[in-house]
Chain A
Amino acid sequence: MATFDKVIPPGGEGKITLRIKTDKYQGSIQKTSSVYSNDPKKKVIKLTIKGLVKVPIYVSPHYIALYGKEGQNVTRVVEVSAKLDKPLKLIPVEFNLAEKLTYTIEEIEKGKSFKIKFTSTPSSNQPFRGFLKLKTNYPEKPEFTIWIRGWIQKKIAPKVKS
């Protein structure tokens, strides 16, 4: 989001304020805004805000897409890792795609890193959209959601000319 002084008089000073809400980011981020002006020598310049967003729990990715063809087992993996110096526990609390997908939670390193594996089922032949919500034992991040969408296309039988 940006707020700025639209007109700056000769010899005057103005400001451009850029604002980022970091609640949907993790790790290093960089946001750029373009400034267009009537200065003939600087018609466009870029302003950048960058830095590192520290999270108690790293989730990658937050959004997954499962697209494939009927008969294929489409799988996506979400990695979850604890960034605080205490063991992490994950408890699934809500999953609204049970008919379309299955999932497993594998603890790679005890209390530290996990892999959540989503796999399509034969009944996932319609577009779908949903989520898996997990609770944690971290008061700093008591819950998080993994958003899912996808479509497993039915095989189309070739037409046979008689």
Chain B
Amino acid sequence: MTLEELRMKRHWQLFVILVFFFSLWGNLSLAQKVQGPKMVLKDEVFDFNEVKEGTIVEHSFKILNVGDQPLEIKVRPG
């Protein structure tokens, strides 16, 4: 095998390895896309600091659905 043929062979090997890694990376990216409902909350704890006895404390927690399916929720105290 000539020196030129050896070089060509190495270039081909490198090309095949690069194609393999790029295809693997593409598959991983596809897998990371959100499928189904996905719940995102801006905060999970609300501190009202100090209130006088008898005050009604109320807070609304915002929920985002960043998925591609409807998000269904139920809330139970405790």
Chain A: residues with CB nearer than 8 A to chain B? 1-2, 4-23, 25-26, 31-42, 45-56, 141
**Chain A contacts for B39, CB-based, 8 A:** 37, 39, 42, 45
CB proximity to A under 8 Å, residues B62-78: 62-78
Q: Which residues of B line the A interface, CB within 8 A?
A: 36-39, 41, 44-78
Main secondary structure of the interface of B (DSSP, over half): strand
Residue of B nearest to A22 (CB): B55
Structural contact, A37 and B37, CB atoms closer than 8 A: yes
Whether A33 contacts B77 by the Cβ 8 Å rule is yes
- In Å, the complex CA distance between A27 and B75 comes to 26
The answer to whether B49 touches A51, judged by C-beta atoms less than 8 angstroms apart, is yes
Tell me which residues across on chain A come within 8 A of B44, comparing CB atoms. 45-48
A26 → chain B closest CB, angstroms: 7
Pair A20/B70 contact, Cβ less than 8 Å: no
Give every chain A residue within 8 A of B78 (Cβ-Cβ): 32-34
A137 to B: closest C-beta gap in Å: 17
Residues from chain B with a CB closer than 8 A to the CB of A18 are: 46, 58-59, 61
Chain A hits for B48, CB < 8 A: 49-51
Give A15's nearest chain B residue, CB to CB.
B60
CA–CA, A18 and B46, complex, Å: 10
Residue of A nearest to B36 (CB): A40
CA distance A1 to B75 in the complex (A): 10
